[in-house]
Amino acid sequence: MIKGAVKAAVMEQIPEVIREAKAKEWLTKKELQELTGWSNRTIQYMRDTEQIPYSQHGYKILYPRKGIIEFLEEHHIKTK
């Protein structure tokens, strides 16, 4: 009985573990747009107002996936 419960719990978690393992740690602006649906201007504004984390070297700007996910979770509005 315990073995079946453990197996069911593990099988439920496997897709999420695989998705996280395959996910890139840093996102380009295009990948961020695909993830969030935000426009270029929205991303620029959020970066300028320091709402979202990013890293820049020269002209290359990258966004940490974990930081963006944390931002989205912090700003999640629950329905009544």
Residue 18 lies in a domain: no
- Chunk the chain into consecutive blocks of 10 residues (it has 80) and report each block's average pLDDT, rounded to whole numbers: 78 76 88 95 97 96 96 91
Q: Round to whole Å and give the CA distance between 70 and 30.
A: 19
Could you give the number of structural domains in the chain? Answer: 1
Residue 11 lies in a domain: no
Residue 46 lies in a domain: yes
Six-digit token string for 6: 């453990």
Residue 5 lies in a domain: no
Task: State if pTM tops 0.75.
Answer: no
